[in-house]
Amino acid sequence: MVTFSIQHRQDPGEARVGVLETPHGVIETPTFMPVGSLGVVKGIDPEELHRCGFGLMLSNAYHLYLRPGHALIAGQGGLHKFSGWSGAILTDSGGFQMVSLSGLCQVKEDGVEFASHLDGSRHHLTPELCIETQLALGSDIMMVLDECPPYPCSPEQARDAVHRTTRWAQRCRMASQGVSNGLFGIVQGGVDKDLRCRSARDLVDIGFDGYALGGLSLGEAKPMMFEMIETTVAELPKDRPRYLMGVGMPEDLVEGVCRGVDMFDCVLPSRHGRTGWLFTSTGRVLIKQAQYARDESPIDPHCKCTVCQRFSRAYLRHLFVSNEMLGCRLNTLHNLWYYGTLMAELRAAIQANQLQAYCSAFYAKRQRASVTRSAEGRASSDDLSQKHATVVSA
């Protein structure tokens, strides 16, 4: 059984602090979910995830269906036991793979025909099989099968995707009758406000434990993404969690929280960790740059993660340029700690009705650091003003 309750609302504003209760733990929201598509966040032990402040991980039902197979995982006691992760698990259905693997799939009314990216074998993913797979995995929160159109797409593509997503959502709802696992609907509609509203209203009529905002952060401009978030959130029940899928950068999380989003996921903390992009309270550090070769300071002097307490930028650069696997692990751990800390700070700011002040300080630190880097000739100044939410400055 999955339940959600709101503990405090920012006054004024849409942001709120909530509690998401699942069979595998209680999660405070707003929250960020590290992405472990195959049942693991690359290079990170499950206990390390807990220490970074996470109680909810995202895995991908489609990828696990292909390998090692949902039946095998069910026979091993479910994904929690199989992976050694004791926290809650949300499983994406595979709808996004219609975009990321578009050359290998064909959308039909009954479902999606996939050619496996692993061995070319053919698979027919229906809404019913989507639910069957997630039940076998033992997901705390399941996602409906949705059609996520690419960006840009024609008005006809966006409209057809909304209607098909609604029909598939109804079938997923029927297939999950009588189970205690949570089930979230996914709002589509591209960047069309009317379609977003239509999709949200249709899904609310069906009734779900939570609602996701899909099909965003696919290349549209940030102001457009923020407008779609505001449009969608206004149509969703206030007593259900709102989940912005596949987003994103720290600034995106701040902006989403200001607009009433409760849940986020993205591969960026781990993917950027593997490519040497480190998140800090004053912006990014690209650890491969020569300026860090003799830098004895930690990644972020204000960070309390074990990486910043033990290792210098010079050593982390050495690991990265030497292609040592420890470098990827340490970078990822730091990034995950940063994301966990950011969400904790946002929750605290909302509880204190100080979100506006927090956001102003958040951007000011980045702007000062950006100007300093530019003056030193080490980086160009980022134009953060376009990312500053109008909701914050109102």
Q: Which residues are catalytic?
A: 92, 265
Distance (Å) of CA 62 to CA 13, 86, 146, 185, 193: 37, 21, 13, 17, 29
| Alpha-carbon gap, residue 55 to 66, rounded angstroms | 26
Of 230, 220, 227, 262, nearest to 245 (Cα)? Answer: 262
Distances (CA, A) of 337 to 52, 168, 230: 5, 37, 28
Count of other CB atoms within 10 angstroms of residue 385: 8
> CA-CA distance, 243 to 256, in Å (whole number)?
10
Task: Give Cα 88 distance to the centre of its chain.
Answer: 15
In sequence order, which residues have a C-beta less than 8 Å from that of residue 348 and are 6 or more positions away? none
Estimate to the nearest angstrom the gap between the alpha carbon of 189 and the chain centroid: 19
- Compute the distance between CA of residue 222 and CA of residue 215 in angstroms, rounded to an integer: 13
Cβ neighbours of residue 9 closer than 8 Å, sequence gap 6 or more: 15, 16, 17, 350
In 3D space, the residue among 96, 34, 30 whose CA is nearest the CA of residue 63 turns out to be 96
| Structural contact between residues 159 and 187, judged by C-beta atoms closer than 8 angstroms | no
Which residue bears the tokens 């992009």?
277
Would residue 247 be called left, alpha or beta, if left means φ above 0 and alpha means ψ between -120 and 50 degrees? Answer: beta
- Residue 113 near residue 121 (C-beta atoms within 8 A): no
| Residue where the block lists tokens 């996470």 | 54
CA distance 133 to 93: 9
